[in-house]
Amino acid sequence: MSINDVTRPMTRTHENVTRVRGLTETDLRRLRTAGRVVGAAGGAVAGLTALSAGLLLRQAADARRVIPMAEAPPPRGDGVYGAKFGGRPLVLVILGDSTAAGYGVHRPRETPGALFATGISRRLRRPVRLHRLAVVGSVSAGLPYQVDVALEYEPDIAVILIGGNDVTHASARPAAVRHLGDTVRRLRVIGCRVVVGTCPDLGAIKPIKPPLRWLARSWSRDLAAAQTVAVVEAGGRTVSLGDLLGPMFEADPIRMYSSDRFHPSAEGYARAVSVMMPTVLAVLGTEDPVTTPVAEDVRALSEAADEAVRAPGTEVAPVGRWARMRKYRWFSTRSTANVGGDPQGGAVGYTPEDHQVG
């Protein structure tokens, strides 16, 4: 029996739900997608019933009400970091969605781009020029436009965070993955190193309640695994985020979440950057203790992708026809917190002299 056979008897029910709730065709498409996931996860041939469909829709609406709309765009941190070191700046571009842009924080120095730029300049002792091209609300289909601009800057390294909105918008996974793979491929053609933080586990988001949370977790993990395969095949490296920050967010949601209870706080972003920084430094060829792996394995790419989803914080990189998996110690985002005599300097010891706008 196909999914069409399952959903065909539900058509009249869907029509009734549409009349009651004003569902669009897009809503119905997403419900059918949800039905396939529920049916696969539970082994139920019936898939999604009208009752569970209504429940999921109510939960999605509740989550949208709980998660406020953006009051203001995230701050920009573009400019040169570590100009005091002299020499040609290394060009860093940040692509992706609101997480990459740093939505939820109030100071440029708290955004992921600034954290990466400050950390790189300190470790390499060279200036870093940051261009944040990530767009709040972007899905993977928006990456081609971002990379068009990125290529104009001739970047040395690109960090991409994308996937959350593809899950919440029920984007077609093959198309989303294709856009990401094409983006990595275009950047690699010009010699730009690429590190991708794969889709986080949206099942860890508090405003999303079961059973919608269970679906979000399944979609997130499936997308993250597919992203890993596409990125590595295109010559980039991935770092699985998954639910790596989940226990910390569970233990201290006030400190780790921003006010919308959906995006990370400044501390949350610093934690995420600390997980990805060893891979970023490794692709830049640094000889640094932080890039010494604590575990390493080589597997077929599909196996590595699945394992990385289950072991957040894992780097997956191409090795010929195989994939290498590595785990690093976290980069310490507080180890230099008092550099420059600024006890409130923030992650990686940011001081105002680190950053020159323009």
Catalytic positions, please? 98, 260, 263
Tokens of 289: 């203790």
Q: Kind and range of the H or E element at 293?
A: none
Strand partners, 161: 96, 197
Distances (CA, A) of 3 to 42, 48, 259, 328: 15, 10, 40, 43
Phi, psi angles (nearest 5°) of residue 253: -65, -30
Residue with token string 């999914």: 3
In one-letter notation, the amino acid at residue 27 is D
d(CA 183, CA 346): 32
331 near 290, Cβ under 8 Å?
yes
Tokens of 294: 């604590």
192 near 158, Cβ under 8 Å?
yes
Strand partners, 80: 129, 356
3-state secondary structure of 258: coil
d(CA 173, CA 357): 38
d(CA 143, CA 126): 29
- Work out whether strand 237-239 and strand 157-161 pair parallel, antiparallel, or are unpaired: unpaired
Report H helices in the chain.
3-7, 11-21, 25-42, 50-66, 98-101, 112-124, 143-152, 164-168, 173-189, 212-233, 246-251, 253-256, 266-283, 301-310
DSSP state of 159: E
Q: Kind and range of the H or E element at 47?
A: none
